[in-house]
Amino acid sequence: MKLLFHIRYISPSMTKQLLHSNSFQQRSLLHTCVPLLNKEKLPDKSNSSKKEKFDEQPHMRIESKAAAREKNPYKYMMYHEIYSEKELHSVKITHKKFESWHDRIAYAAVQTMRFFFDTFTGYVHVPIESESDKNKTKHRQRKPMNEKQWLRRIIFLESIAGVPGMVAGMSRHMKSLRTMQRDHGWIHTLLSEAENERMHLLTFLELRNPGWIFRAFVLLGQGVFFNAFFVTYLISPTVCHRFVGFLEEEAVITYTRCLQELDAGRLPIWSKTPAPSIAKSYWKLKDDAMMKDVLLAVRADEATHRQVNHKLADAGPDSPNPFLTREKEERDPPDEKEQDEIDTANKK
Contacts of 341 (CB under 8 A, 6+ apart): none
- Nearest to 207, CA basis, from 246, 151, 165, 129: 151
197 is in an annotated binding site: yes
Stated as kind and residue range, the H or E segment containing 104 is helix 101-121
Contacts of 340 (CB under 8 A, 6+ apart): 92, 94
- Nearest to 37, CA basis, from 24, 49, 55: 55
248 is in an annotated binding site: yes
Q: Give the integer Cα–Cα distance in Å for 306 and 308.
A: 6
Amino acid at 222: Q
Tell me if 52 sits within 8 A of 41, measured CB to CB.
no
310 is in an annotated binding site: no
DSSP-derived secondary structure letter, 143: P
Q: How many residues does the chain have?
A: 348
Q: Is the sign of the CA dihedral 109, 115, 116, 121 positive or negative?
A: positive
Amino acid at 310: H
85 is in an annotated binding site: no
SS3 content of the chain, % helix, strand, coil (to 5): 70, 0, 30
305 is in an annotated binding site: yes
Which three-class secondary structure state does DSSP give residue 290?
A: strand
> Three-state SS across 19-84?
HHHHHHHHHHHHHHHHHHHCHHHCCCCCCCCCCCCHHHHHHHHHHHHHHHHHHCCCCCCCCCCCCC
302 is in an annotated binding site: yes
Binding residue numbers: 158, 197, 200, 248, 302, 305
Binding residue numbers for Fe cation: 158, 197, 200, 248, 302, 305
